[in-house]
Amino acid sequence: MKSEKLIFEKSQNNRKGVLPPEEQSFLTSPEKIFSQGLLRKHKLPLPCLSELDVIRHYTRLSQLNFSVDTHFYPLGSCTMKYNPKISEELSMLEEFKNIHPYQQEEDIQGILELMFNLEKILCEITGMHRFCLQPSAGAHGELTGMLIIGKYHRLKKHKKTKVLVPDSSHGTNPASASMCGYKVIEIKSNSEGLVDIDELNREMDDEVACLMLTNPNTLGLFEEKILDIKDIVHKKGGLLYYDGANLNALLGICKIRDMGFDVIHMNLHKTFSTPHGGGGPGAGPVGVTEELVEFLPVPLVEKNHNHFILNYKLKNSIGRVRSFYANIPVLVKAYSYILRLGKEGLKRVALYSVLNANYIREKLKSYYNVASPKPCMHEVVFSAIKQKQQGVSALDIAKKLIDEGIHPPTIYFPLIVQEALMIEPTETENKETLDYFIEIMIKIAKEAETSPENFKNYPKNTPVSRLDETQAARNPILKWQSPPLGD
Ligand SMILES: *Cc1c(COP(=O)(O)O)cnc(C)c1O
């Protein structure tokens, strides 16, 4: 594929777009508008191009992207499902777009009602007593949850210094615990990839504030001993924190509260579908049991007769965790997604996402090692250890997939699986797409066996092939040193 030059390299002296007359004078005689002191001494080194040059440049760049709308995107743990366009449209309604958080309660009754209803639905789905909608992402929800747990223990005068996390946990779990001042203790997984109960018993003591758990865990496995785990943690006065990133697998099938969890966050952008490639936007509401409601961030949305109000009066609130109320458009999308699917639809999300992952698992398990002998839930983790011995790493496989028009899966996570390939197809993919992916993965396994040397040159069909990733991360060139451009 031909590479696209930088826009600065395409610049030609005196070439420019067409401007309406008023704007022309704005550019040619800025001194009529700004005082001398505010004017630049030197011209900005901006590239000079025609309107068509600019349109072609950015349109081409946009077409080099991978997206859920253009490619299969099985990025494990991230739940890159199709984002229904109706949710986008609804979140962009004038009535949502043009409200401002400084408006009075009476003037924003509509959005308060939506938040009130969404909270009720999240409670229904998870079995938790109340939710705070403020956190802007899963990691932010974890921090909020850990602050709640910390305050709860402090008020009870419990001496708590430690937080337990399984060795399969997402990096944000130990990070959130550590930001709240806890020592992080890692619990080893057993040979099946589940929490090792003996190890948990050994590490659990009176100083453990909580166990943070993802269920299904990051190997895509349901923690079958969850009720035993709950008893072990609760008996020593610890709480159970649920990382809801994998909730897609359990929607409408079981309630998180019934598994004994005290605090949970949900990743609305994952489970309830907001486009979130490239790091955002998100929402990570935090739900708690009745006993912990008094610690939630304020304000909470409540109903007084037929009026929705913002309640700031919580006895032991940890305070605010963001400005204003929440990442509103993400809430609107989640709400519309949930209403569109309804109770039965949400259940089908869970069933089909699990079916799709197991279909891939079964079809590929004789070509790639599976991380666990157990059937998976909504995602399947393979290990490319066999291919690595042939000279082809998980990274090489990911690069080859780009050539085949497939967004690479998550690789090298969870950390406990060597050469991990973490594949989450989601419920929104049809059988033909899954079959195409399977066919390509089999082709790759065969090529790894016969011609491993090929893989050092993949991807071939992209403008840029292999990057020096260390250099790119450590010494990024963020500033284009342009030659002097036309004045
Ligand atoms: C995505 C994810 C998180 C973090 O959520 P963000 O919304 O990206 O902050 C935490 N845990 C797991 C298992 C995840 O997949």
CATH code, domain carrying 363: 3.90.1150.10
Which of ligand 1's atoms lies nearest the C-alpha of 279?
8
CB 215 within 8 A of CB 259: yes
**d(Cα 129, Cα 145) in Å, to the nearest integer?**
14
**Ligand 1 pocket test target in 75, 77, 422 with most atoms within 8 Å of CB:** 77
Please tell me the distance between residue 77's alpha carbon and the centre of ligand 1 in angstroms: 7
Same domain flag for 162 and 305: yes
Q: Is the pLDDT of residue 238 over 60?
A: yes
Q: Is the pLDDT of residue 234 over 50?
A: yes
Last residue within a domain, chosen from 341, 374, 405: 341
pLDDT, greater one: 72 or 478: 72
Q: Among 322, 341, 360, give the residue marking a domain's end.
A: 341
Q: What is the Å distance from ligand 1's center to 274 Cα?
A: 14
- Nearest-atom index, ligand 1, CA of 214: 13
Sheet order of strands, 239-244 included: 130-132, 286-288, 263-266, 239-244, 208-214, 162-166, 183-187
Best residue among 221, 243, 269, 377 to mutate for probing ligand 1's pocket (most ligand atoms within 8 Å of CB) is 243
Q: What is the pLDDT of residues 307-364, one digit of tens each?
A: 999 999 999 999 999 999 999 999 999 999 999 999 999 999 999 999 999 999 999 9
What is the position in ligand 1's atom list of the atom closest to the CA of 243? 11
Which residues have CB under 6 Å of ligand 1?
77, 137-139, 170, 172, 214, 218, 243, 245, 267, 282, 284
Tens of pLDDT, residue by residue over 372-413, are: 999 999 999 999 999 999 999 999 999 999 999 999 999 999
Query: Which ligand 1 atom sits nearest the alpha carbon of residue 282?
Result: 7
Closest-lying ligand 1 atom to the alpha carbon of residue 137: 7
* Nearest Cα residue to atom 6 of ligand 1: 138
pLDDT in tens, 170-216: 999 999 999 999 999 999 999 999 999 999 999 999 999 999 999 99
Residue nearest to atom 8 of ligand 1 (CA): 138
User: How far, in Å, CA of 266 to CA of 244, rounded?
Assistant: 5
Q: Are residues 268 and 173 in the same domain?
A: yes
- CA-proximal residue: ligand 1, atom 5 (nearest): 138
Atom of ligand 1 lying closest to residue 169 CA: 13
| Average pLDDT score over the chain | 94
Average pLDDT over residues 58-63: 92
Q: What is the distance in A from the centroid of ligand 1 to the CA of 307?
A: 35
| Cα of 138 from ligand 1 centre, angstroms | 5
By DSSP bridging, strand 239-244 and strand 208-214 are parallel
Which residues is 130 bridged to in the sheet? 288
Question: What separation in Å is there between the alpha carbon of 479 and the centre of ligand 1?
Answer: 31
pLDDT at 35: 87
Task: Please tell me whether residues 298 and 393 are part of one structural domain.
Answer: no
Percent of the chain with pLDDT strictly greater than 90: 86
The reply to whether 249 and 169 lie within a common domain is: yes
Phi/psi at 330 (5° precision): -70, -35
Q: Is residue 150 part of a domain?
A: yes
CA of 422 to the centre of ligand 1 (A): 14
Atom of ligand 1 nearest to the CA of 140: 9
CA distances to 27, 125, 174 from 347, rounded to whole Å, are 58, 10, 31
Of all residues in the chain, what percent carry a pLDDT higher than 70?
98
79 C-alpha to center of ligand 1: Å? Answer: 10
Statement to judge: residues 322 and 448 lie in one domain: no
- Ligand 1 atom closest to the CA of 267, numbered from 1: 7
* Two tokens, residue 142: 């974890």
Count of domains observed in the chain: 2
Q: Which residues, 6 or more positions from 260, have their beta carbon under 8 angstroms from its beta carbon?
A: 226, 227, 229, 230, 231, 234, 240
End-to-end CA separation in angstroms for the chain: 34
82 Ramachandran zone, left/alpha/beta (phi>0; psi -120 to 50)? beta
Q: What is the Å distance from ligand 1's center to 172 Cα?
A: 7
CA angle 160, 161, 162 (to 5 degrees): 105
Do residues 446 and 381 both lie within one domain? Answer: yes
338: left (phi over 0), alpha (psi -120 to 50) or beta: alpha
Q: Answer yes or no: is pLDDT of 33 > 90.
A: no
Q: What spacing in Å lies between the alpha carbon of 18 and ligand 1's midpoint?
A: 46
What spacing in Å lies between the alpha carbon of 267 and ligand 1's midpoint?
7
pLDDT band at 429 (very low <50, low <70, confident <90, very high): very high
Answer whether residue 74 is part of any domain: no
Which amino acid is present at 90?
A: L
Is the domain of 160 the same as that of 246? yes
Shared domain for 335 and 357, answered yes or no, is no
Of 75, 169, 170, 250, which is best to mutate to test ligand 1, by the most ligand atoms within 8 angstroms of its C-beta? 170
CA of 413 to the centre of ligand 1 (A): 12
Q: Which of 103-112, 380-389, 409-418, 478-487 has the lowest mean pLDDT?
A: 478-487
**410, part of any domain:** yes
According to DSSP, the residues that pair with 383 across neighbouring strands are 369, 420
Same domain, yes or no, for 155 and 271? yes
Contact 137, 266 (CB under 8 A): no
Do 431 and 450 fall into the same domain? yes
Q: What residues make up the domain containing 312?
A: 85-341
Residue 485: per-residue pLDDT: 52
Whether 101 and 192 map to the same domain: the answer is yes
Longest dimension (CA), the chain: 78
The residue-averaged pLDDT of 2-22 equals: 86
For ligand 1, atom 7, the nearest C-alpha belongs to 138
On whether both 305 and 396 belong to a single domain, the answer is no
Nearest to 338 by CA among 123, 27, 95: 123
Residue 457 lies in a domain: yes
Q: Strand 369-370 vs strand 307-311: parallel, antiparallel, or unpaired?
A: unpaired
Give the per-residue pLDDT at 487.
45
CA 300 to mean position of chain CA atoms: 25
Domain membership flag for residue 218: yes
* Count of beta carbons in the 10 Å neighbourhood of residue 193: 24
Q: How far is the CA of 51 from the centre of ligand 1 (A)?
A: 41
